[in-house]
Amino acid sequence: MEFLNYAFMQRALLAAVLVGITAPAIGIYLVQRRQALMGDGIGHVAMTGVGLGFLLSWSPVWMATLVSVLGAVFMELVRWYARTRGDIALAMLFYGGMAGGVMFINLTPGGSTSNLSSFLFGSLSTVSESDVTAICLLAAFVIVVTVGLRRQLFAVSQDEEFARVTGLPVRFLNLLTAVTAAVTVAVAMRVVGLLLVSALMVVPVAAAQQLTRSFAATFAIAVAIGVAVTIGGTVTSYYQDVPPGATIVLLTIGAFIALTVLATPLARRRARALAAAQPGGDPAECAIPASRSGGHGAVP
């Protein structure tokens, strides 16, 4: 545990834990709405924010927050108004965001694309004091929204039309989901990097689903997986000198595979228990009375 003696590791671990909580917490709603790749799109847009931060000598984390929130709002507006051509508009936004980031960073005196790489793939040693403050504030916002409004966000993500008929402010909640996803991208940028952030939003949720039947349990297990892999990945990265973002994502995928393998016998046992609990219910297998069945392959 000697890594805890280093200030940069303390900062990195705090950031990692917050990423592990927030990314699956908003990711579960994106997965529920079948917008699993939204985080990836926002990650591309955030590159322009990082580039602008370098160019204007402002905090890249806050600039990335600002630009990705604007991008997320734009994506929601596209979803409302431009149904058919929406994907083209989104493609332009994503690649424009990426190109903007590369352009701005190269316009910065002494800047080059190599400055960008720690933001693309994550880096522990560069998490500064001010980054940690920003990450704590942004993570608090994400947790308040995803936990405090869980019933509303669940209802809207489950069935948008029904949510509207219950009088929920559906447009506002959709916008809030998009903005919260954008904020999460900025939180996760330093640890896992912009290109890998979406994995941490989606894969822990997919892994948790292998074991669960309820939304609440999926939420809790996904966050637990998120925290476990971000801490595990950060510590591994310290000892082995491997990039943290890639380590965390590979660990998450490993967790998904392990849980999938583990879940197969569990699902079988559950199905048997269900069949046993319902003696009057449908039998698990077809039982055609012998007098009516004409043997294999016979067509009546």
Partner 1 sequence: MTTEPVISLRGVHAELGSRPVLRGIDLTVRHGEVVALLGANGSGKSTAVRSVIGQVPVTRGEIELFGTPRTRFREWARVGYVPQRTTAASGVPATVTEVVSSGRLARTRFGLFRKADREAVRRALDLVGMADRAKDSVDALSGGQHQRVLIARALAAAPELLIMDEPMAGVDLASQEVLAETLRRQVVAGATVLLVLHELGPLEPLIDRAVVLRDGCVLHDGAPPKAVGQHALPGHDHVHPHAPAGTEPIRTGLLS
Please report, as ranges, the residues that interact with partner 1 according to CB under 8 A: 28, 31-36, 83, 149-152, 154-155, 157-168, 205, 209, 212-216, 218, 274
Dist CA 91 CA 74 (whole Å): 12
Quote the least distance from Cβ 207 to partner 1, whole Å. Answer: 12
- 274 vs 284, which CB is nearer to partner 1? 274
Quote the least distance from Cβ 213 to partner 1, whole Å. Answer: 4
DSSP-derived secondary structure letter, 169 = -
Quote the least distance from Cβ 156 to partner 1, whole Å. Answer: 9
- 31 vs 179, which CB is nearer to partner 1? 31
- 14 vs 77, which CB is nearer to partner 1? 77
Quote the least distance from Cβ 234 to partner 1, whole Å. Answer: 27
Quote the least distance from Cβ 4 to partner 1, whole Å. Answer: 35
Dist CA 214 CA 97 (whole Å): 37
> Per-residue b/e over 56-65, b at no fewer than 16 CB within 10 Å?
eeeebbbbbb
Dist CA 157 CA 180 (whole Å): 14
Half-sphere exposure of 12 (CA within 13 A, CB side): 27
The alpha carbon dihedral of 194, 66, 148, 40 has a sign of negative
- 45 vs 156, which CB is nearer to partner 1? 156
Q: Are 248 and 203 in contact, with CB atoms under 8 Å apart?
A: no
Contacts of 166 (CB under 8 A, 6+ apart): 155
Quote the least distance from Cβ 204 to partner 1, whole Å. Answer: 12
- 130 vs 278, which CB is nearer to partner 1? 278
Quote the least distance from Cβ 159 to partner 1, whole Å. Answer: 6
CA angle, corner 23, sides to 150 and 208, nearest 5? 75
Q: Which two tokens stand for residue 210?
A: 């292998």
- 4 vs 266, which CB is nearer to partner 1? 266
Q: Are 32 and 57 in contact, with CB atoms under 8 Å apart?
A: no
Query: Chain-centre distance of CA 115, in angstroms?
Result: 25
CA angle, corner 147, sides to 194 and 188, nearest 5? 15
- 55 vs 168, which CB is nearer to partner 1? 168
